[in-house]
């Protein structure tokens, strides 16, 4: 079966890309004079994980696809970060085992040839599996644990979607603490924004209606309306972050690639919510920033806020005055994977911990994820998780586990997991793969037919996702490298392997 057959199969079963090409202009929208307070606004600029991983200092994660200056996916050039690209058609989300034959071990060995021996790869662990059946097809050291970097987010995504109902949204609420006193209660939504609707950016692009985040201005308006209806125009404000336990800071916290992990924040704790930087500077106290932002919006609504907001747990059973809610968990997962958002990943992991009745901490979230994966039948030999984002070099996942995760996510038996597949960046088109698989990369033929999660830490480059081979079969793959080579060279070598898998009619 040739590429024409593959395109026809993709059209029948695939997930169609957005109708318009990506915009070539990464400039942020300017405020409109009549914008007022947006009801659906998000962070300006990037999410802190798309396109630049500050590889040189080893602190970053998964900003693949930009520079070749030794920082690997460091800050992408702003003139090509959202380059216009032609649409090449649909991208396959799941396969049909009865429609085509999976490649053989010998066929894949021949197809890959010397690509897996490229010196830029250093140590390579990899696995290829049939996405339709989960059957392992070919690999090397596929059961040996390796540092997953941001492919850890695949585990977080699968577990969260399995544990939480499809309509689950994260609420930020305001309750009446006492006469004349209110409390802003964090529910764990880091995407809550203070920006007007026309400045919403997710991965540098405007948000659609389904992915637009909750608005702090909207919450203040609803709160003010409830207070005025009760005859109150002056309050004392406190804020509640008691949902989470354990350390606030990730062990590899750098105040750029990830914010302090708290259940109350606005614009993911960015100092400048409009910043287009891939790893923007974060505030020291995201919860305090969020409370100050809320107080400012309340004042704009004609409510006097006495003094400075203080941290305090809301009284048990306190009456709710107002709430806003995040997009659904599926949309959050898609955003997390496409843009490789570390702060959002830790929030999603904690939602899994809440659902699993585990401590809502780094440790409890990791246990919730691994327990749920075990229940799904995913092999966990050698798996060690210490976070939900993959920033931690202590994490270990074998390639065979990653391909099994992808196969489970693509299986018809688990439609609730489909956002894992639809959230994967598309080679040459979106997210952290927008600047990979280019025409001169040696892997250009795979552009548009590969969906994959990137992973980058100092000396570590990983890629795990799905590809439609030349026979129309959907394969899952995971490639995990540890190397001292230039990061751009290592990623290019990984991409060439994937391109060979895509070309395989074997």
3-state helix, strand, coil in the chain (%, to 5): 30, 20, 50
Tokens, residue 250? 């990730």
One DSSP character per residue, 8-60 reads: HHHHHHSBPPPSSPPPS--PPPPPPTT--S-SS---SS--SSSS---GGGT--
Query: How many Å apart are CA 192 and CA 185, to the nearest integer?
Result: 12
Cα(491)–Cα(75) distance, rounded to whole angstroms?
16
Number of other residues whose CB lies within 10 A of the CB of residue 401: 27
| Catalytic choice (150, 275, 293, 389) | 150
Gap between the Cα atoms of 204 and 279, Å rounded = 13
- CA atoms of 258 and 245, how far apart (whole Å): 18
Q: Which of 153, 236, 404, 453 is the catalytic position?
A: 153
Whether 150 sits among the annotated catalytic residues: the reply is yes
153 given a catalytic annotation: yes
Catalytic hit among 340, 389, 430, 441:
340
How far is 341 from 358, CA to CA, in rounded Å? Answer: 23
Does the annotation mark 340 as catalytic? yes
Q: Are 407 and 385 in contact (CB under 8 A)?
A: no
Q: What is d(CA 466, CA 94) in angstroms, rounded to the nearest whole number?
A: 9
Active-site residue numbers?
150, 153, 340
């Amino acid at each position: 079966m040739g590429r024409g057959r593959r395109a026809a199969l993709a059209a029948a079963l695939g997930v169609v890309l957005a109708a318009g090409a990506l915009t070539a202009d990464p400039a942020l929208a300017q405020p409109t004079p009549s914008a007022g307070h947006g009801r659906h606004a998000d962070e300006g600029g990037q999410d802190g994980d798309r396109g630049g991983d500050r590889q040189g200092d080893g602190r970053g994660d998964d900003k693949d696809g930009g520079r070749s200056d030794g920082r690997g996916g460091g800050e992408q050039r702003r003139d090509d970060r959202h380059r216009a690209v032609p649409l090449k058609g649909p991208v396959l989300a799941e396969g049909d085992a009865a429609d085509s034959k999976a490649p053989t071990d010998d066929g894949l060995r021949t197809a890959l040839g010397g690509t897996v021996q490229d010196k830029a790869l250093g140590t390579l662990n990899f696995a290829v599996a049939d996405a339709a059946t989960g059957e392992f097809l070919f690999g090397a050291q596929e059961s040996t644990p390796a540092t997953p970097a941001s492919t850890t987010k695949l585990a977080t995504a699968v577990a969260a979607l399995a544990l939480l109902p499809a309509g689950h949204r994260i609420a930020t609420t305001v309750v009446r603490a006492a006469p004349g006193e209110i409390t802003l209660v964090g529910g764990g939504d880091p995407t809550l924004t203070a920006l007007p609707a026309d400045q919403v950016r997710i991965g540098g692009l405007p948000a659609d209606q389904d992915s637009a985040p909750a608005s702090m201005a909207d919450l203040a308006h609803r709160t003010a309306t409830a207070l005025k209806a009760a005859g109150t125009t002056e309050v004392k404000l406190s804020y509640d972050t008691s949902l989470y336990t354990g350390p606030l800071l990730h062990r590899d916290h750098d105040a750029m690639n990830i914010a302090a992990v708290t259940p109350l924040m606005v614009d993911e704790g960015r100092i400048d919510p409009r910043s287009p930087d891939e790893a923007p500077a974060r505030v020291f106290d995201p919860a305090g920033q969020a409370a100050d932002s809320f107080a400012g919006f309340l004042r704009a609504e004609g409510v006097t806020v006495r003094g400075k907001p203080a941290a305090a747990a809301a009284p048990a059973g306190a009456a709710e005055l107002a709430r806003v809610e995040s997009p659904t968990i599926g949309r959050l997962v898609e955003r997390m994977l496409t843009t490789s958002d570390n702060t959002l990943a830790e929030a999603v992991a904690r939602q899994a911990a809440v659902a699993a009745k585990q401590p809502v901490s780094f440790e409890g979230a990791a246990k919730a994820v691994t327990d749920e994966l075990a229940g799904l039948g995913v092999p966990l030999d050698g798996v060690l998780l210490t976070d939900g984002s993959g920033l931690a070099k202590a994490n270990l996942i074998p390639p065979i586990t990653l391909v099994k995760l992808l196969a489970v996510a693509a299986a018809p038996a688990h439609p609730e997991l489909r956002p894992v597949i639809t959230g994967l960046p598309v080679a040459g088109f979106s997210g952290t793969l927008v600047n990979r698989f280019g025409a001169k990369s040696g892997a250009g033929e795979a552009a548009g037919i590969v969906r994959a999660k990137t992973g980058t830490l100092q000396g570590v480059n990983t890629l795990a996702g799905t590809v439609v081979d030349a026979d129309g079969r959907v394969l899952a793959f995971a490639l995990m490298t540890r190397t001292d080579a230039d990061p751009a060279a290592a990623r290019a070598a990984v991409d060439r392997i994937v391109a060979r898998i895509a070309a395989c009619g074997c």
